[in-house]
Chains A and B, each alone.
Chain A
Amino acid sequence: MLSRDEPRGTRGKNRGADRLGSEGRMHFNTRLLHGKAVKKYGDGATLPAVAQVNAFAYDSAEELDRVFHHRAMGFAYSRVANPTVAAFEQRISEMERGNGAVALNSGMTAISLSLLNFLCAGDEVIASCGLYGGSLDLFDDLAKFGITTRFAREMTPEAVEPLVTERTRVIFGEVIGNPSLRVMDISAMAAFAHERGIPLIVDSTTATPFLVNPLELGADVVVHSTTKYINGSGNAMGGVVIDASRFPWDFQKTPALEKFRAYGKAAYLIRLRTDVSENMGGIMSPVSAFLNVVGLETLGLRMREICQNAEKLSKALDEAFPDLDVNYPLLGRSPYAGIAREQLGGMGGGILTFRAGSREKAFAIINDLRYAVRATSIGDTRTLVIHPESTLYIHSDAGEKEAAGVYEDTVRVSVGIEDADDLIEDFTEAIRKNRG
């Protein structure tokens, strides 16, 4: 399942939405449906069957022996690998231009295993302090195992440089911060990290391969919570780790990968596949993999609509309520407008935030919305709204909240595919009613 990585693109050429496929002809939506990873499934089915089984039977002990020793192509046990899950892995790996992928049962499992795959006690991580609250909690948990995280206020070379030590083993950041909405310059951070012999892992959940392929900009590993935009309909939890198999691992610095030295640059992927995900568990369920394949096929359509809606809504609210402090990467005053336009193909993602003026006003606005659903998560077809300070960040201290752009009056909106005019009317009425 290993194959050659492709040359890195340049920043301006990497846009998932418009970039041509490896065959030089297919654009994004066509590649989703007709790419190399789209197989001829059994009986002419246009989607992979759901192999909802635990174990796979063989005619002889010899055959099973060969499968267990990787000398024959086949599946043995669904905790390790499963045909439906593999079908999803192949398709998302192709869309991210990866060398291989491992699909897991949640985005947090994906992030956890992407790190535990090579970190040891005593190692240090550098992460952006404005991460999703669940990721911040994870780094707090990793500290109990002797893995220290140093947080950078911004994911920029200037902000990260003072944090680099002899023990730094990885730089981790979000492409579009959730809900900080800071946009990482992936090329700059990859160059910075590689000059210091450090791999760069990025969480691209909020960007999706439609906006950017981080591996083409130099990131070494990309993780997604597939629960969000990739699934798209809010009906299957999942996560995925996609490896470029390009980083030249120093096995003295990463002894956890030493046993896999023979695989060279694929050591990370092979350990994740055959050791860490197998032993720690957490593989995606076949049903979730099937639903994620179905969701993936409309990713381009949904993301285009979602991003257009989010841009229209943020601009409408910003114009109607200049003191609302609307935050969206494409707003002219956003310090990330330039890099978003350049790196994300002119799109800003599907999330925006605003400040209501007080916690009470935030709650009142949320409660008065007609179309937006009051629920956690992002990336659904329907617009979701939440008060992050009292929900997503309940385990974070004041400093962490501020760094993430989360205040007591912050409202986060995950924009859906409803008609933009309806969303604008809904939010405008609720805000006008409750802010005066």
Chain B
Amino acid sequence: MVITVAGEQKEVPEGTTVAGLIALEKVDNPEYVSVSVNEDFVDREDFETRALAEKDVVEFLYFMGGGR
């Protein structure tokens, strides 16, 4: 399926989860990244289970400062 990641169209396997995409894209500092899918933020607890769908628009964002 084709999704948009950080403004670029990418082909990823069907059923790719948010966590899977983070690994696939080799996202910098994954422990700090926040992820939005179609402009809605995904709870970190849902990274492993949230499956992406065709035409989803994904952004990886960093909010510098303190958090776990």
Q: Which chain A residues have a beta carbon within 8 Å of chain B's beta carbons?
A: 1-4, 36-37, 70-75, 80-81, 85-94, 98-103, 262-266, 269-270, 273-274
Cβ–Cβ contact B64 & A264, under 8 A: no
Q: State in angstroms the CA–CA spacing of A99 and B36 once bound together.
A: 17
B63 touches which one: A4, A70, A91 (CB < 8 A)? A70
Contact B34 A1 (CB under 8 A): yes
Whether A88 touches B66, Cβ cut-off 8 Å, given contacts A2-B34, A4-B44, is yes
Cross-chain contact B65 with A72 (CB below 8 angstroms): no
Given the known A-B contacts A73-B28, A262-B36, are A274 and B63 also in contact in the complex, defined by CB atoms under 8 Å?
Answer: yes
Q: Which 5 A-B pairs have the closest CB atoms?
A: A89-B66, A100-B67, A1-B67, A81-B64, A101-B66
Query: Chain A residues near B29 (CB, 8 Å)?
Result: 73
**CA of A268 to CA of B67, assembled, Å:** 13
A269 to B68 alpha-carbon distance, docked (Å):
13
How far, in angstroms, from A74 to B60 measured CA to CA in the complex?
Answer: 13
Q: Is B11 an interface residue (CB 8 A)?
A: no
Which chain A residue has the least Cβ–Cβ distance from B38?
A262
- Starting from the known contacts A2-B34, A71-B6, A262-B40, 17 additional A-B residue pairs (CB-CB under 8 Å) come to A1-B62, A1-B64, A2-B41, A2-B63, A4-B44, A4-B45, A36-B68, A71-B60, A73-B32, A85-B65, A85-B66, A86-B66, A89-B65, A89-B66, A90-B66, A93-B66, A265-B43
Q: Which residue of B lies closest to A87 (CB)?
A: B66
Residues of B within 8 A of A1 (CB): 32, 34, 62-67
Given contacts A3-B44, A262-B39, A266-B41, contact A71 B67 (CB under 8 A): no
What's the minimum C-beta distance from B60 to chain A, rounded to whole angstroms?
A: 7
B9 CB to closest chain A CB, in angstroms? 17
Specify the chain A residue showing the minimal Cβ separation from B6.
A71
Does B61 count as interface, using CB distance less than 8 angstroms?
yes
- Chain B residues close to A by CB (< 8 Å): 6, 28-29, 31-34, 36, 39-41, 43-45, 59-68
Whether the Cβ atoms of A73 and B64 lie closer than 8 Å is yes
A71 to B6, CA, bound (A): 8
Q: Are B62 and A73 in contact (CB under 8 A)?
A: yes
Interface of B is mostly: mixed
Contacts of A262 in B (CB 8 A): 36, 39-41
B28 touches A90 (CB 8 A): no
**Docked pose: A36 CA to B68 CA in angstroms:** 8
Complex Cα distance A159/B37, Å? 44
Report how far A240 CA is from B52 CA in the complex, Å. 36
Q: Which residues of A contact B6 (CB under 8 A)?
A: 71
* Complex CA distance for A273 and B17, rounded to whole angstroms: 28
Quick check: A101 and B63 within 8 Å, CB to CB?
no
In the assembled complex, which residues on chain B have CB atoms less than 8 Å from the CB atom of A265? Answer: 43
Shortest CB–CB separation between residue B22 and chain A, in angstroms?
Answer: 13
Beta-carbon nearest neighbor of B46 in chain A: A4
Contact residues in A for B34 (Cβ distance below 8 Å): 1-2, 266
Known: A72-B28, A263-B41. A102 touches B65 (CB 8 A): yes
Measured between beta carbons, the chain A residues less than 8 angstroms from B43 are: 4, 264-265
In the complex the two chains form, what is the Cα distance from A70 to B61 in whole Å? 5
Residue of A nearest to B27 (CB): A73
- CB-CB nearest in chain A for B45: A4
- What would be 10 A-B contacts, judged by CB atoms less than 8 Å apart? A2-B44, A2-B67, A3-B31, A3-B67, A86-B66, A99-B67, A262-B36, A265-B43, A270-B63, A273-B63
Evaluate contact between A71 and B61: CB separation under 8 angstroms: yes
CB distance from B43 to the nearest CB of A (A): 7
Whole-angstrom distance between the Cβ of A356 and the nearest chain B Cβ = 43
Q: Within the assembled complex, what's the spacing in Å between the Cα atoms of A85 and B65?
A: 7
> Given the known A-B contacts A4-B45, A262-B39, A266-B41, are A98 and B68 also in contact in the complex, defined by CB atoms under 8 Å?
yes
Q: How far is the CB of B29 from chain A (nearest CB, A)?
A: 5
Give Cα A36 to B31, complex, Å.
11
- Report the bound CA distance from A340 to B45 in whole Å: 33
Which residues of chain B are within 8 angstroms of A74 by Cβ–Cβ distance? 62, 64
B63 to chain A, nearest CB (A): 5
